[in-house]
Amino acid sequence: MSEIKFAVLGQFFHCPIKGDFEYAKKALIQVDNNGTIVSVMTEADVEFQTQVSFFSSKSKLIELSSSQYLMPGMVDLHVHAPQFPQAGKGLDLPLYDWLQDYTFPLEAKFADMDFTKQIYPSLVKSLLANGTTSAVYFATIHKDSSVELARECLKQGQRGYVGKVNMDEASQCPPFYIEHSTADALKDTELFIQEVIGLEGNQHQLVSPVLTPRFVPSCTSEMLQGLGELAQKYQCHVQTHCSESDWARDYSQQMYGKTDAEIYRDFGLMTNRTILAHSIFLTAADHAIIKETGASIAHCPLSNMYFANAAMQTREILDNDLKCGLGSDLAGAPIPSIFHTCLDAVNHSRVREDGTSTYLAADTRGESGSRISFLESYWMATVGGGKAIDAKVGLFQVGFEFDALVVDTAVSDSNIFIIDEMDSDKDKLEKIITLNNRQNICKVWVKGQLVVNK
């Protein structure tokens, strides 16, 4: 049996059931040397006090104050790592022009390893500081630079899922940012997988390679076929964009006469380790394919407002029990915080429910019954994300990895203002979800390793 590394004493929130939450006022969570939760006790347990005294005497007790809340680490299912320098600018164009004018020229710069090493450490640091313990990254088409991102995740202790992007369709990719050849790109991708798995210090697979066809328009059918074969060979994760805008949806129909989900399925890219970013224009048949294959959706509410030209079917996706988590979609949206994404997801659904045009009567303006709750969005950010990456994270339960953060509502520059006599436990959790900022996050652990400590 492995040794206990530390035990945390304090209050916690988590959401074992979608749309609901659990609050423990005083709990003791024991974490072993592998970073796994081996015991969760509350005051009702007879052994509670004895265990607290024991860990205290061994100097292994981390005791939270009354303004501090232990919460599961956040999972960001969709981050474009090289777009970090672009965050907060250039969202004036539709998707196609945005890619061609702003994004591809920036991503092309990552051929330069010095530039890579200038950007990626700051990105990983920023995400960790915002409580993102697991991140699923698109890197660029460059193998070495993409491996460097995985190395950086490992160095800073973030659970990273990193993809070398694949794009080889000459009519859609600029000459300065396209694979040299499909065959070379597939060889590079296979090498990338092997190099990430074999990175020094990655014995526990904290970082994993992800097959990453950018989206249907940027890939030839030979590329999709080759990546599908690699997905079967290595059983690794797959990530891509799915039916994200009118333009992208129509492109797939014109080229293949199929939806994106059908195309990915037919090329062997839909597995229970596939993460489909956006997934706005889903048909009933797409829902069935996603459910049957066990693929997941990364809901990116803020970038959908810029690029999707439509609102997400979040209510139906949750009701249909499709696997779904949240993505920041840096830098199709500017904010590197999944807490913020939770708020965006709720706002997005409320605008859909209410509709927008003041020229229409209230009862014809929106799509009634389509809102989601704060608890559902928080569930997606933690448990839903954990299921998508196929990792035991997102809950404080025995056997789960200790990926966690501490929110302190009493830091001097806090936006969260809690009054114990006035706020129910649910009020407190909703305030934390909606008002939390990086200054409130004072500790972050990934796999039991303390990676942020303020």
Ligand X SMILES: O=c1[nH]c(=O)c2nc[nH]c2[nH]1
Q: Write out the residues near ligand X by the rule CB under 6 A.
A: 80, 95, 99, 103, 214-215, 241, 244, 303, 307, 329, 332
Place of tokens 């249909």: 320
Residue 275, token pair as written in the block:
């993460």
Q: How far is CA 390 from CA 111, 164, 275, in A?
A: 31, 20, 11
Of 163 and 332, nearer to ligand X (C-beta) is 332
In the complex, least distance from residue 307 CB atom to ligand X, rounded to whole angstroms: 5
214 with 172: CB under 8 angstroms? no
Of 161 and 445, nearer to ligand X (C-beta) is 161
In the complex, least distance from residue 165 CB atom to ligand X, rounded to whole angstroms: 9
DSSP for 441-454, written as a single string: EEEEEETTEEEEE-
Of 215 and 396, nearer to ligand X (C-beta) is 215
Of 438, 416, 437, the residue nearest 427 (C-alpha)? 416
In the complex, least distance from residue 311 CB atom to ligand X, rounded to whole angstroms: 16
In the complex, least distance from residue 104 CB atom to ligand X, rounded to whole angstroms: 9
Q: How far is it, in rounded angstroms, from Cα 316 to Cα 44? A: 39
Of 30 and 86, nearer to ligand X (C-beta) is 86
Of 81 and 207, nearer to ligand X (C-beta) is 81
Q: Is the dihedral of CA 67, 386, 311, 102 positive or negative?
A: positive
Of 150, 114, 119, the residue nearest 336 (C-alpha)? 119
Q: For the chain, how far is it from start to end, CA to CA, in angstroms? A: 32
In the complex, least distance from residue 309 CB atom to ligand X, rounded to whole angstroms: 12
380 with 326: CB under 8 angstroms? yes
In the complex, least distance from residue 218 CB atom to ligand X, rounded to whole angstroms: 7
Of 133 and 328, nearer to ligand X (C-beta) is 328
Of 77, 79, 103, the residue nearest 89 (C-alpha)? 103
- Mutual angle of helices 338-354 and 425-435, in 10-degree steps: 100
Of 137 and 402, nearer to ligand X (C-beta) is 137
Of 249 and 443, nearer to ligand X (C-beta) is 249
Tell me the longest C-alpha to C-alpha distance in the chain.
69
In the complex, least distance from residue 451 CB atom to ligand X, rounded to whole angstroms: 27
| Helix or strand holding residue 196 (H, E) | helix 182-197
Of 187, 184, 104, the residue nearest 140 (C-alpha)? 104
Of 21 and 267, nearer to ligand X (C-beta) is 267
Q: Which residue is nearest to ligand X (CB)?
A: 332
| Helical residues (DSSP H) of 294-381, grouped into ranges | 301-307, 314-319, 338-354, 362-365, 374-379
Of 165 and 207, nearer to ligand X (C-beta) is 165
In the complex, least distance from residue 140 CB atom to ligand X, rounded to whole angstroms: 10
CB contact set of 330 (below 8 Å; sequence gap of 6+): 79, 80, 81, 83, 84, 87, 123, 336
Q: How far is CA 348 from CA 284, 305, 320, 343, 352, in A?
A: 21, 8, 19, 9, 6
Cα angle 65, 70, 73 (rounded to 5 degrees) comes to 150
In the complex, least distance from residue 63 CB atom to ligand X, rounded to whole angstroms: 43
In the complex, least distance from residue 243 CB atom to ligand X, rounded to whole angstroms: 11
Return the number of other C-beta atoms located less than 10 Å from residue 59's C-beta: 7
Of 51 and 239, nearer to ligand X (C-beta) is 239
In the complex, least distance from residue 76 CB atom to ligand X, rounded to whole angstroms: 14
